[in-house]
Structure 1
Amino acid sequence: MFGRLIIRRKVSTLLFNRTFVTNVSSPSGTTNSESNVLENVVNVQPHIPVMAKEVIKALKPESDKTYIDMTFGAGGHTKKILESAPDIKVIALDRDPDARKYMDAVSGMYPNQVIPLCGRFSELPSLLDSINVHADSIDGILFDFGCSSMQFDQPERGFAISADGPLDMRMDKNRYPDEPTAADVLATIDENDLAKIIKVYGGEKKAKKIARTIIDVRHALTPIRTTWELARIVASCFDDHFHMDQMNRPMHNATKTFQALRIFVNNELNEINYGIQCAEKYLKSNGRLVTITFHSLEDTIVKRHIQGQVIQGLANSIALKYVSQLAICEKESIEKIMKSNWKPLYKHVIVPSLKEIDLNPRSRSAKLRAAIKICDENTL
């Protein structure tokens, strides 16, 4: 079951207070000088939208239709959508409060076409209800999963290994001050749970050794509070060899551990799973879903939802692979279980061109999937 991949976010002494916090107001009219400032914020954005042309081709934006950018970031994809046709409306969602200034900037450039929302995928139903958006009413939904470039580029956020900063990693920043940072997790979690997180979420072969070392340092010294402290501790678990990325280039040996902690702290896989369910609920019949993933765990969730391999709301890792071997299941029952509400647009995933990877190295592991929501076999 895929549920095995979603480790319970158990930190022994911490309780999670999930108070709903949001701000959905749109900016009022702006003066010329204000508009210039807003335009400058967008034009000097710290983020290059990945596979922008491929996203527009798959999403196929049209005039007078409504779309949701579920991972707004710095607004690169939203701008491309708005430029595609006149009178498009985009509902812009992001859990990071820092994205709001970019939302306001794009909204200022496209008056009355952008609705900013701050929240997680799991908060989307309440957010949409607050602006009177109902099920089966959206023409297209875009996801660009993972961290944004601007989060990696801010040392104080604690995502990056390359610069020292507090070991935070919360995408929500301080919207939920009672929820644990990465430092809080490392200060309280037990060794076995930490090893599972690093192995499952990071795919790290030396997960047990890294977890043991982190716990030893925690007991012998002081709590681990900065990115460089954690990076050095993890690096000490390796000999002289380096991890290699998908382009066969050396990467820091702590990269997978950082990824694992980030996914755990932000409950990312559960949020992605819920986000795809929300997309199915709010898209119209024939509405389009476009996703960009950056590692296999994200892509697996998307793929299994599109293929209909979902049981009780969770993407099922065994994919009902052996259901046809069960004599008790009749053919009609099997087809009903395997039925998907999605029709894939492409047989295989779309990946960035070599030219794009050269211009934007962070796109190298991106995979794009797209599908159309169908209600029954006669819809298309």
Structure 2
Amino acid sequence: MTDILPHTTVLLDEAVDALLGNACEAAPGSTWIDATFGRGGHSRRILSQMPPGHRLLAFDKDPEAITEAARILDARFSIRHEGFRHLADLPAGSAAGVLMDLGVSSPQIDSPERGFSFRFDGPLDMRMDTTRGQSVAQWLAHADVGQIAQVVRDYGEERFAGPIARAIVARRQERGPLSTTAELADLVASVVKTREAGQNPATRTFQALRIFINGELDELQQALQACLSVLRPGGRLVVISFHSLEDRIVKQFIAQHSKETYDRRAPFAPPQAMRLQALERTKPGAAEVAANPRARSAVMRVAERTQVPA
């Protein structure tokens, strides 16, 4: 019997409170953005609390998320079957606030057929959008040692990236390419002999391949950059990250745009005004982590678009 956890939205109250913190100042008919719908926990809470007459637009690449969104029968809500890099397609200054929850939902992790987890044997897929792109199995079937090692090292921060990559290619040459999550997990475990207590040897490799195959970090950087244009002055940016690579990008992005910048080529020119104001950093409390262990690594960062135009 599989141990499948129900999906519980992380930092639900904190995220929505931060997003709508200055909603009273938003113009009538304002649009709020749930950039990562998932299973709709944040969207449903936003709809229950946003001012009358406002709208909520969501984004998600996962077809199962689009199916779940169809259950929301609220005329103020709409969703696009697109990744959140498409925030850049929205008109400048059109959003009163943007929320990004970068976590993988429990139904995705716990569905063997999606291939996200080493806990269940299933096809080695890991695509967020199963209607397009290549799966992890397809990529591993032709990638060379150097390519695999770089992905596992850069996106998984795995110190055994080289041996893992060599083992994957050797297995492909001897018995054919890997096709299931169990095959990959067992192969990694045969190479990685030491690991932090309580952590599966394949954890970092699975994380790395998922991030790579979905272009997650590139999409995050594009979406954050788009927010500088899409957010109206005073609009909030709320981002929940679940691992250090994501959080580092968010932290550095907010820090970069929360200070005046000077053009070294024009030392006497006035500085470019700060475009964001960092507001808070929040982690789940002990009670939330006890109730939902998958919340333990979450970090929420909040910033506000300044009144000064770009």
TM-score, normalised to structure 2, is 0.89
Counterpart in 2 of 1:362?
Answer: 294
CA deviation string 1:100-158 (max 9, x = no partner): 1221112x1xx2110111101233444x4xxxxx2201100000013222210111001
- Is the alpha carbon distance of 1:368 and 1:331 closer, same or farther for their aligned partners in structure 2, counting shifts above 3 Å? farther
- Is the alpha carbon distance of 1:185 and 1:243 closer, same or farther for their aligned partners in structure 2, counting shifts above 3 Å? farther
Q: What's the secondary structure of 1:370's corresponding residue?
A: strand
One-letter amino acid matched to 2:34: D
How far residue 330 of structure 1 moved from its aligned partner, in angstroms, is 7.4
Counterpart in 2 of 1:100?
Answer: 66
How far residue 160 of structure 1 moved from its aligned partner, in angstroms, is 0.8
Q: 1:374 aligns with which of 300, 306, 309?
A: 306
Distance 1:82 1:181 in 2: 35
Distance 1:103 1:282 in 2: 23
Q: 1:51 aligns with which of 11, 15, 20?
A: 11
Q: 2:48 aligns with which of 83, 87, 90?
A: 83
8 Å Cα contact 1:46-1:74 kept in structure 2:
no
Counterpart in 2 of 1:229?
Answer: 183
Distance 1:92 1:80 in 2: 13
Aligned residue runs from structure 1 range 185-196, under 5 A: 185-196=139-150
Q: 1:138 aligns with which of 95, 100, 109?
A: 95
Counterpart in 1 of 2:35?
Answer: 70
One-letter amino acid matched to 2:190: S
- Is the alpha carbon distance of 1:85 and 1:67 closer, same or farther for their aligned partners in structure 2, counting shifts above 3 Å? closer
Q: Which runs of 5+ in 2 are unaligned?
A: none
CA RMSD of aligned residues (A): 2.5
One-letter amino acid matched to 2:96: D
Aligned residue runs from structure 1 range 109-258, under 5 A: 111-126=74-89, 128=90, 134-174=91-131, 176=132, 179-239=133-193, 241-244=194-197, 250-258=198-206
CA deviation string 1:298-323 (max 9, x = no partner): 1111112212269xxxxxxxxxxxx9
One-letter amino acid matched to 2:210: R
Distance 2:171 2:271 in 1: 53
How far residue 82 of structure 1 moved from its aligned partner, in angstroms, is 1.4
One-letter amino acid matched to 1:194: I
Q: Give the length in aligned residue pairs.
A: 299
One-letter amino acid matched to 2:161: A
Q: What's the secondary structure of 1:307's corresponding residue?
A: helix
Q: Which runs of 5+ in 1 are unaligned?
A: 1-44, 129-133, 245-249, 311-322
8 Å Cα contact 1:308-1:341 kept in structure 2:
no
CA deviation string 1:280-335 (max 9, x = no partner): 2111111110000111111111112212269xxxxxxxxxxxx99xxx77766695
One-letter amino acid matched to 1:150: P
8 Å Cα contact 2:239-2:302 kept in structure 1:
yes
Distance 2:6 2:65 in 1: 11
8 Å Cα contact 1:68-1:141 kept in structure 2:
yes
Aligned residue runs from structure 1 range 262-341, under 5 A: 262-308=210-256, 335-336=271-272, 340-341=274-275
CA deviation string 1:22-74 (max 9, x = no partner): xxxxxxxxxxxxxxxxxxxxxxx942111112112211263753210000011
Tell me if 1:342 matches 2:290: no
Distance 1:281 1:309 in 2: 13
Distance 2:227 2:115 in 1: 30
Q: What's the secondary structure of 2:179's corresponding residue?
A: coil
- Is the alpha carbon distance of 1:141 and 1:54 closer, same or farther for their aligned partners in structure 2, counting shifts above 3 Å? same
Q: What is the percentage of aligned positions where both structures have the same residue?
A: 39
Q: What's the secondary structure of 2:256's corresponding residue?
A: coil
8 Å Cα contact 2:88-2:230 kept in structure 1:
no
- Is the alpha carbon distance of 1:168 and 1:276 closer, same or farther for their aligned partners in structure 2, counting shifts above 3 Å? same
How far residue 203 of structure 1 moved from its aligned partner, in angstroms, is 0.6
